[in-house]
Amino acid sequence: MRYSTLYDVNSRVLNQNIMRRSQFLKSLSGTGILLAASPLLSFTKQEELPLDKKVVEEFVRVSHGQMDKAVAMLEEYPNLLNAAHDWQQGDFETGLGAASHVGHKELARYFLDKGAQTNIFTACLFGEITIVKAMLTAFPKTLHAKGPHGFTLLHHAEKGGDEAEEVKAYLMALGATEMRVALY
């Protein structure tokens, strides 16, 4: 009898422990969800509105040479830095692209110093031969890439003046001849 009583006591304790464990796990599942979601709840909702297309268009337009206006707009709307305007039918252009193809090095440098996404066109403008060679070695068809409005790498090197003379000669040695090509 005594053995059976000890068995009964152990059984009862075991059942209570199982019940406590089950309740513990159930309470954790709710807490776990709250803990997992807490980082999401701690952030304030940020503005999710896209940039106004007219503001982007104006920024790209003034980036063709009106440095004061471009700088002021970028200060007011920092997200304009890499925003692109579609002039129609996929002719996309950023502020950096605009400054680069007109040869406005000071404005292009300003955008780069702010963290603008650079590309091979801008590297040609600044005579960055090491970058241009590496890009064209890795991606040879880029030699005939179309920039904004169809301006080519050779055009950008030409706009770079003396600083880009080595790049211009390199592009021509590879077969580049066009300054501007039709987009379509």
Alpha-carbon distance of 109 to 104, in angstroms, equals 9
Contacts of 143 (CB under 8 A, 6+ apart): 136, 153, 171, 174, 175, 176
- Distance between CA atoms of residues 107 and 69, nearest Å: 11
| pLDDT, one tens digit for every residue, the chain (184 residues) | 455 555 554 555 555 555 565 565 555 555 454 444 544 444 444 456 789 999 999 999 999 999 999 999 999 999 999 999 999 988 999 999 999 999 999 999 999 999 999 999 999 999 999 999 999 999 999 999 999 999 999 999 999 999 999 999 999 999 999 999 998 8
Q: Which amino acid, one-letter code, is at 3?
A: Y
Q: Give the Å distances, CA to CA, from 36 to 23, 33, 44, 99.
A: 20, 5, 17, 46
Map out the domains of the chain as residue ranges.
1-43, 53-173
Q: What are the start-end ranges of the H helices in the chain?
A: 2-42, 53-62, 67-76, 95-101, 105-114, 120-125, 129-138, 153-159, 165-173
* Top-tier CATH class for 53-173: mainly alpha
Rounded to two decimals, what is the model's pTM? 0.73
- Half-sphere exposure of 156 toward its Cβ, with a 13 Å CA cutoff? 34
